[in-house]
Amino acid sequence: MTLRPDLAVIADNVASGARILDVGCGDGALLAALRDQKGCDARGMEIDAANVAECVARGLSVIQGDADKDLAFFPEASVDYAILSQTLQTTMRPDQVLEQLLRIGRRAFVSFPNFAHWKVRTSLLWTGRMPVTRLLPVAWYETPNIHHATVNDFRDMVKARGIKVEQAWFLRGDRQCSAAAASFRAEHAVFLLSR
């Protein structure tokens, strides 16, 4: 199975044999890849019951839970990496979820859509409407995205909280692009964070 581009970046940069918690793990594609290809102790938490059932049917260790409420029940420093892929923008309090990730894991991977990408800006400018794109495929009233963050917004948030950015990757479509003008050019971002 081919991983989504942001998940492929994360999988490529997780150490073999690491302990993983994937929050908002969806169908478990990343968990399965980390378990099968890197020998990781990979566990997940997912809010959608159908996705949890699919993960469990694949032999994955996944529980149903809400990132905004249930991360507090995980022990401190219990995993090497806490992962939040394409989920940050759907949480009620992204700042608090990020703090929980770094409490639970020694490091955290966070990926999210960049709402300052030039196509999003252009759509707003010329049509006066929230865009529907290949990567943001539903209308504003159907989307689970409640926080429309940008690369620069995210950088400001982690800096204000004293969180270290160990590495960052920026994606345009299915390819990586440079960090130069990433807030304008990147459709998605992936950050590796630590304290």
Domain assignment present for 130? no
The strands making up 41-46's β-sheet, listed across from edge to edge, are 61-64, 41-46, 19-23, 79-85, 105-113, 188-194, 164-172, 175-177
- Please name the residue that has the structure tokens 């709402």: 115
pLDDT at residue 8 tops 80: yes
> Which residues face 167 on adjacent strands?
192
Give me the pLDDT at residue 123, please. Answer: 85
Could you read off the pLDDT of 61-75 as tens digits, one per residue? 999 999 999 999 999
Give me the pLDDT at residue 50, please. Answer: 97
Domain assignment present for 16? yes
Domain assignment present for 83? yes
Could you count the other beta carbons within 10 Å of the beta carbon of residue 132?
13
Domain assignment present for 129? no
The band of 132, judged by pLDDT with boundaries at 50, 70 and 90, is confident
Could you read off the pLDDT of 144-168 as tens digits, one per residue? 877 788 999 999 999 999 999 999 9
Please answer whether residues 22 and 43 qualify as being in contact, where contact means their C-beta atoms are separated by less than 8 angstroms: yes
Q: Per the structure, how many domains does the chain have?
A: 1
> pLDDT over 70 for what percent of the chain?
99
CATH of the domain at 45: 3.40.50.150
Domain assignment present for 9? yes
Q: Directed axis angle between helix 94-104 and helix 151-160, to 10°?
A: 60
Domain assignment present for 165? yes
Could you read off the pLDDT of 61-111 as tens digits, one per residue? 999 999 999 999 999 999 999 999 999 999 999 999 999 999 999 999 999
Mean pLDDT rounded to a whole number for the chain: 94
User: 3-state DSSP call for residue 91?
Assistant: coil
d(CA 78, CA 62): 16
Range of the domain at 168: 5-115+147-194
Domain assignment present for 92? yes
Domain assignment present for 140? no
